[in-house]
Chain A
Amino acid sequence: MTPSGVTTPAERVAALLALTDEEAREAAVLAALEDEAPAVRERAIRLAARYIEPGVLGTLVADGVNAARRNSALAALECQGPYAVPHLEAMLQSSDADVVMFALQILARIGVPSAAPAVLPLIRHPGLNIAQAAIEALGRLRSREAVPELLKLLGGELWLQLAAIDALGAIGDPVAVGPLIELVPDSIVAEPAALALQRLAAPVSLEPLLRRFRIVRERPLQDALLLAVGVVLDLHPDPDPVVLAWGEELRLDPSGPVTGYLNQTLGESPADGGESDERLRAAAALVAAAGISPLLPLVMIRLGAAEAPPWAEGVVRRHPHGLRRELDRLLADPDARVRRGALLGITPASDDAGRFLPFLDDPSPEVRAAACRALASTGAPVVPSRLVALLRQGGPVEREGAVDALARLSGDALAELAPCLAPDASEEETLAALAVLGVRAHPPFEHRVLELAGSRSTPLRRAALRAAARLPGSRVEVALFRALADRNQPVQLEALELLVRRGGDRTAVTLMALLGTGDSLRYHVIRALGHLEALEAVGRLHRLYPTVPLHERLEIVASLIRIGGPELGDFLRGRLMEGEVEIRRLAARGLAELADPADAPLFRNLARDSDWGIRNEAARGLGRLGRLDVRETLLTLARDVEPVVARTARQSLDELTGSGPAGAARRTA
């Protein structure tokens, strides 16, 4: 039923929302489920999830004539989540095959594991579509109880076999590894089986996967197996013995298809259109772990390229044997990317310095920068002076490399930085030296660093403050406090942040004194006190609260939540009485964090609030209480018209029933 006289979608939505009489609302919502405008249907679905019982929606699903209304009803049932599960389980007994199919699909999407026992018998249903949907649902529900039955289907009808393979991969029980491996490579379902093994990622599958990978020649199956090997390598606690042995077999018998395939995969560029980052990563990991000599330069090219993938260094460092064995050959490679990759990927030993020093004079600045870092890790005495020379005379790339490397050295070695901090040094040199000292403290430079904190140059002042903040002592603290009055606000904020990071008893007291000023810094000071968790500031913030504008009041509430303290609960409950919705939201958030059991009735009230943000915090707070008597309220919130609230309530329900992370933690405890 479309409200009469209403023509535009926006007006129809507004009319729906305005209805308060239950009977009229239900009729209007049911009619709007088949409105011609998607926006009206979407709103009606959310309202139906909240206000219409699953039984009523179930009858619409059974109505095969009105497809639009049926689809909307299905969406509404899905939105109802756990609330609809008992009814959906009942729908599985329907004689209407379509209804059973739809119920299975929605149960799978809702994903409540407790529905699995009702689904399991249907995998033997005479209707293939229903059996297949049941298998898929069990996969989505991650039902371990279903694994024995699913394994029996691996030798059966093809569609059921495919669904079972996929479900076994989703469930992730390692007991499925053996039967799935048996399907590779000589079966029609070899690729899906490899995909399932990838999802299983069981360490025990590494050796059989590698064995099959060596003999397979079809590119799609090679891809699938490589991806599976890549994931297992990532998750395996100690893959190298297995992979090195496999690499040795490969070296003795290089005629197989695998070397050519890996060569091709590692050589692919985005321009080839075949670039798959996951496949590339898997190939790089396998080559590094197995130490496949002819292919190592390709891995180094990936690591040494200007835009190396973020995983490259980790992958190479995790499997160090091959690189160490081939290091000299790789460092002599004419391609600068190979040399750079080798220097970045190697875990240096103390006697490597002599090997790396010549690369400080490499023709490529990128290689020189990588050599800085490798040298820093050797700890050789000659290194600091060479790095400082590069920092003073090198271009931007080497300077950056030298800063990075010097910041890895011990404090004593940093004495070499003295010329860079001298008054006659260029600003660039001094900034670079301060960047090092901003990471690694060196107390002998305190005097000069504090001098620079008063420099006329803003970049120098900021860099000097960062370096000073690494040093202990009251002189540094005074310099940081003084910087709070700097003429440049970014410098003020930098100083404030550094003070918070340093902590210390005097910091909170000094910052509290700044609360009396009405300037723009106070907003940041309030937040800083929160980050300091300054309990001594609580009283002062309470007194300040009624006197300041809204943006500062919000910061005060947020800071008090961070600080905590015995009066926090009462303060937040008081804020719930205010008219400003943002203050109420923040207060509700703080109360949800506190999760005081005495607040259960309060959360039940908040669950009926007109504001979604407050209902969301009620859902969170109720979940954190961990009491079963709040389940009914959470079930209502799980059908909330606002999806964010519904999602929070479902997570809280999961935690109550023990399937969420907090529930699991409670079970373990």
Chain B
Amino acid sequence: MSRADAAEWKLVTDLLEERFGLTFAGVRSEILESRLQPRLRAHRLDSLRAYYHFLRFHPDGESELAALGGRLTNNETYFFREPHHFELLTARLVPERRPGLEGQPLRILSAGCSSGEEAYSIVISLQNAGLELSGPAWEVDGCDLNRDRITQAREAVYDSGSLRACDEEARRRYFRELNGRYYLRERHRKGVRFFEANLRAPAGVLGWSVYDVIFCRNMLIYFGERAFAGAIDLFGRSLRPGGYLLLGHSESLLDRPTDFVPVSAAGGVVYRKRAAA
């Protein structure tokens, strides 16, 4: 990268970090570059600096920036990705949380839910564990930065890539196939809500309520230090005492002063919010 490029690069990446908390240091800079180039071509701009000016000052810049946030994060997801977390949820976390619910529903959030595969996988897992009949009521929410993804999540129609971890039996049970597209069956969509959220947004809590379990997997890898700390803080405020945070396999809170205690489970580590003193 030439030195002019380095300055232009900083302009754009600082803006993305400030706005979304996303960081693109090291090898991730290639990801960013590959995703920005089509945007420059679309607007017929010839430099990152021109694109930065467009984002900051052009009348259409704000909508471009809002859409860019969603384009930059890895939307690659599928049903039952890292399945041990769903087994952990039904076998350990739900039974553990159950006595404290006192008639309230169990609340689970899929943060950075993309097109909803994770949120619906949670529902299917709870149903398969028989909790629909014998367990507590539940509410599953999903949130994402990208408006288009939220729309897709609400539609719950997928291509075969989203079902790569589902065998024939699972495809048949959970989906209705039509012209190569897979429509999630109504019973698995019931009670799932989706909303737009920027984890960089200041203060407050996330979503409609405090949660018992938050899934946020493979998204924080894009976050800079401050945004990472901010998101963890936000999750801390959005979880009930003793609630659980499940991160992706390459994300960790170890060596960080947080409200969470690492708990060894399912061959990995999950994080439990400290109970109130």
Cβ proximity bits B231-250 to A, threshold 8 Å, 1 near / 0 not: 00000000000000000000
Shortest beta-carbon distance from A219 to chain B in Å: 29
Instruction: Judge whether B44 and A524 touch: CB under 8 Å.
Output: yes
Report A-chain residues with C-beta under 8 Å of the C-beta of B4: 620
A39 to B256, CA, bound (A): 12
Shortest beta-carbon distance from A292 to chain B in Å: 35
Q: Is A87 located at the chain interface by the 8 A CB criterion?
A: no
Shortest beta-carbon distance from A262 to chain B in Å: 31
Q: Is A380 located at the chain interface by the 8 A CB criterion?
A: no
A651 to B14, CA, bound (A): 23
Of B48-56, B122-130, B160-168, which binds chain A?
A: B48-56
Instruction: Judge whether A644 and B226 touch: CB under 8 Å.
Output: no
Shortest beta-carbon distance from B149 to chain A in Å: 25
Instruction: Judge whether B7 and A648 touch: CB under 8 Å.
Output: yes
Q: Is A493 located at the chain interface by the 8 A CB criterion?
A: yes
Shortest beta-carbon distance from A527 to chain B in Å: 8
Instruction: Judge whether B225 and A551 touch: CB under 8 Å.
Output: no
Instruction: Judge whether B53 and A648 touch: CB under 8 Å.
Output: no
Instruction: Judge whether B54 and A558 touch: CB under 8 Å.
Output: no
Instruction: Judge whether A616 and B50 touch: CB under 8 Å.
Output: no
Q: Is B58 located at the chain interface by the 8 A CB criterion?
A: yes
Report B-chain residues with C-beta under 8 Å of the C-beta of A523: 58
Instruction: Judge whether B54 and A551 touch: CB under 8 Å.
Output: yes
Q: Is A550 located at the chain interface by the 8 A CB criterion?
A: yes
Q: Is B176 located at the chain interface by the 8 A CB criterion?
A: no
Known: A551-B53, A554-B53. A647 touches B3 (CB 8 A): yes
Instruction: Judge whether B3 and A648 touch: CB under 8 Å.
Output: yes
Q: Is A582 located at the chain interface by the 8 A CB criterion?
A: yes
Instruction: Judge whether A613 and B7 touch: CB under 8 Å.
Output: yes
Q: Is A188 located at the chain interface by the 8 A CB criterion?
A: no
Chain B 46-78 interface residues, beta-carbon cutoff 8 Å to A: 50, 53-54, 56-59, 61
Report A-chain residues with C-beta under 8 Å of the C-beta of B6: 644, 647-648
Q: Is B11 located at the chain interface by the 8 A CB criterion?
A: yes
Known: A647-B6, A648-B6. A497 touches B59 (CB 8 A): no
User: How many residues does chain B have at the interface if contact means C-beta atoms less than 8 Å apart?
Assistant: 17
Known: A493-B44, A497-B44. A582 touches B57 (CB 8 A): yes
Of all chain B residues, the one with the shortest Cβ separation from A13 is B226
Instruction: Please indicate which of the listed interface residues A38, A493, A520, A582 has the most CB atoms of chain B within 10 Å of its own CB.
Output: A582
Q: Is B10 located at the chain interface by the 8 A CB criterion?
A: yes
A242 to B10, CA, bound (A): 48
A598 to B249, CA, bound (A): 58
Report B-chain residues with C-beta under 8 Å of the C-beta of A644: 3, 6-7, 10
Instruction: Judge whether B225 and A39 touch: CB under 8 Å.
Output: yes
Instruction: Judge whether A613 and B59 touch: CB under 8 Å.
Output: no
A493 to B44, CA, bound (A): 8
A549 to B7, CA, bound (A): 24
Report A-chain residues with C-beta under 8 Å of the C-beta of B226: 10, 39
Cβ proximity bits B170-206 to A, threshold 8 Å, 1 near / 0 not: 0000000000000000000000000000000000000
A41 to B59, CA, bound (A): 40
A101 to B44, CA, bound (A): 52
Chain A 585-634 interface residues, beta-carbon cutoff 8 Å to B: 612-613, 616, 620
A558 to B57, CA, bound (A): 14
Report B-chain residues with C-beta under 8 Å of the C-beta of A520: 59
Report A-chain residues with C-beta under 8 Å of the C-beta of B53: 551, 554-555, 582
Cβ proximity bits A522-535 to B, threshold 8 Å, 1 near / 0 not: 01100100000000
Report A-chain residues with C-beta under 8 Å of the C-beta of B56: 582
A616 to B53, CA, bound (A): 18
Instruction: Judge whether B3 and A551 touch: CB under 8 Å.
Output: no
A527 to B51, CA, bound (A): 13
Chain A 624-668 interface residues, beta-carbon cutoff 8 Å to B: 644, 647-648, 651
Of all chain B residues, the one with the shortest Cβ separation from A616 is B7
A17 to B179, CA, bound (A): 61
A170 to B178, CA, bound (A): 60
Chain B 1-18 interface residues, beta-carbon cutoff 8 Å to A: 3-4, 6-7, 10-11
Known: A39-B225, A493-B44, A620-B3. A551 touches B11 (CB 8 A): no
Report A-chain residues with C-beta under 8 Å of the C-beta of B58: 523, 551
A612 to B6, CA, bound (A): 12
Instruction: Judge whether B225 and A558 touch: CB under 8 Å.
Output: no
Shortest beta-carbon distance from A209 to chain B in Å: 32
A551 partner, pick from B7, B10, B44, B59, beta carbons under 8 A: B59
A508 to B53, CA, bound (A): 24
Of all chain A residues, the one with the shortest Cβ separation from B52 is A582
Report B-chain residues with C-beta under 8 Å of the C-beta of A582: 53, 56-57
Of all chain A residues, the one with the shortest Cβ separation from B44 is A493
A620 to B3, CA, bound (A): 9
A550 to B55, CA, bound (A): 12
Instruction: Judge whether A550 and B7 touch: CB under 8 Å.
Output: no
A497 to B226, CA, bound (A): 42
Cβ proximity bits A488-525 to B, threshold 8 Å, 1 near / 0 not: 00000100010000000000000000000000100110
Report A-chain residues with C-beta under 8 Å of the C-beta of B44: 493, 497, 524
A155 to B11, CA, bound (A): 52
Of all chain B residues, the one with the shortest Cβ separation from A650 is B3
Known: A647-B3, A648-B6, A651-B3. A551 touches B50 (CB 8 A): no
Question: Would you list the 9 A-B pairs with minimal beta carbon distance, nearest first?
Answer: A551-B57, A551-B58, A648-B3, A550-B57, A554-B53, A644-B6, A616-B7, A644-B10, A493-B44
Instruction: Show 7 A/B contacts (Cβ-Cβ < 8 Å), sorted by A.
Output: A497-B44, A520-B59, A549-B59, A558-B50, A613-B11, A644-B3, A647-B3
Q: Which residues of B contact A (CB under 8 A)?
A: 3-4, 6-7, 10-11, 44, 50, 53-54, 56-59, 61, 225-226
Q: Which residues of A contact B (CB under 8 A)?
A: 10, 38-39, 493, 497, 520, 523-524, 527, 549-551, 554-555, 558, 582, 612-613, 616, 620, 644, 647-648, 651
Known: A551-B54, A551-B58. 10 other contacts (CB 8 A): A524-B44, A550-B57, A551-B57, A551-B59, A582-B56, A620-B3, A644-B10, A647-B6, A648-B6, A648-B7
